[in-house]
Structure 1
Amino acid sequence: MKLLLSLFLIITVTAAWAQNKPAENQQLFYFKNNGLQVKEPDSSDYVRVVRPPDSSSVLFNVAEYYRNGKAKLIGKSSTINPATYDGQCLTFYPSGKKQMLLNYTDGAITGTNYVYHPNGKMYLIFTMDTLRNQSFEENMRVMSCMDTTGKALVTDGNGHYVVYNNLTYAISEEGDVKDGKRVGEWHGSYPAEKVTYTDTYQNGKFISGYCVTAAGTKYTYTGKQQSPEFPAGGNTAFIALLKKKVKVPATLKNKSTQVFVSFTIRKDGTVGNPLLLGSVSPEADKAITAAVNASPAWKPRLINGLPVETSWGMPIVFGTAPAAPAKAKTGK
């Protein structure tokens, strides 16, 4: 299936970005390169444009654009925001060259997928297993990998796989694969933090790892990544805390209103940058934002044993929809 860019769409998006208002029949959402959604276009790195489904489809048309006006992504989604991609999704480098051709099913990458180097040469061909209890890396099966000159590094699932940083394109980690799965020791680094790490895999499954900081301190870990966690109860406790701080207008108490709350969890666990998708009421929205900013510290996200800043979010339902009237019992 060929994905075509509409010149008209590019023009209307550029104009809407400059004026901070969307063209008719489209919705705009603004993001930083790390995926954090922001309210103002001036503080964003790219814009997501969501348009109604085509007449023969139930999927929304999604296009993303860099600030230079060039396309970043073209695909389809079953939801408006956050996006739940379905079908083929094509992404581009800021230069305009093709970056990835991915296949999605209900928001998950499936099937055979293709990644390209910034110079346009093929970089990676991989397939995805669909086990939900495994990480992306553990589900990934690398079939082919080439360097920037086209030299084969992995052939038919066997060889040495090199992973590049998405922004700098420096090598971030590398190691061997067998039958498409990671095996043995993998070595990587975070140059900005002057951190190196070594992970051990067996048949694609992460076993253990350790990292060494710039100060020479060594940390060991048994999980490649660890999601952020609100102390004493997780997301459920955090949602309950927010609800205690919010007074729902009497006119809305008998109906269910859902909003999506996103925010940043910093390396030290403090919370900030709250953003609401949807609205309860102006007063309630302000109370939700204030409650997020005043949240107790979370356990931060960990990658390779080290805390990292991350975006986090969840849906929250306020009010209660009235119960359906009981059905009358009929006697015989």
Structure 2
Amino acid sequence: MTLAVALGAATIPLATVWGVILNKLSIVLIAPTWSAGQESIIWDVRLPRVLLAAFVGAGLALVGAVLQPLTRNPLADPHLLGVSSGASFGAILALLHTGLIFGATTVPLFAFAGALGATALVLMVARLTSSATVDRLVLSGVAVSFVIASLANLLIFLGDPRAQHTVVFWMLGGLGLAQWGHLAYPGLALFGGLVVLMFQAASLNGLALGDETATSLGLRVQRLRLELFTLTALLTGVMVAFSGAIGFVGLMVPHITRLLVGSDNHRVLPVAASLGATGLVIADLVARIIIRPEDMPIGVITGLVGGVMFIVVLRRKH
């Protein structure tokens, strides 16, 4: 994270990075040897962005680590139940049609509302179609995701062509919205979700063995699954609302984690969160410096690296 703050279009010494941070936090007062511009780059631009990358990476990896044993599907990831499509719909609506009616928080608010709406719609479709089993619940999510994605594409088609480049960048993932005032939401969602899920780690171990085994262990399978689906959807909605749609983190990191620490979710959940945070910080650093001073959408980096690493993981498991 220190390197990610120091490196970019303008490289800043590591000592200067920590000097600014310690001064701002009033931990150790150091006589400034840096310019006001360097201080602004570190404190106002890069540090919030790096923290947001860590929160989002940890959150997406955590959701993937929960959904894979929950659905017993190795391809499950945070975008499985249409949450990402719902968030994209809300963000596109704000960017192309309503304008920034709530100021800088408009896009995250609309994206989060879209994610919540998609989650509610999936649960409603599952109830209407009596989709109590995990396979049918996932299929309901896939169907809703396609419908919402089609509506989002319609919004793009009807929107102002001059503003569509911002939508494309957001849909490919980006951390340009990072501000100190926004960090509380993904931060609280991450740590609150991690605490709750750690208490459910033993239940997740049971669900991974199958519904019959989980029931014999005393678990209320359908209720527990819906509760965990809702929690992961909320966590995904918060993360996607501030970062856009970033792929492969929630799919790839849990598999790498299980290669390292096994399948016990008491170990998998915190390690996956740590690896996800580290991985997305590095991916964002690469996205910022590879074509500097321009930013490459971070989803391009995670897709390229994630796809290759996932093939390697599959090969090792074989």
Same fold (TM over 0.5): no
* Greater fraction strand: 1
Instruction: Between the two structures, name the one with larger relative contact order (CA 8 Å, sep ≥ 6).
Output: 2
Larger helix share, 1 or 2: 2
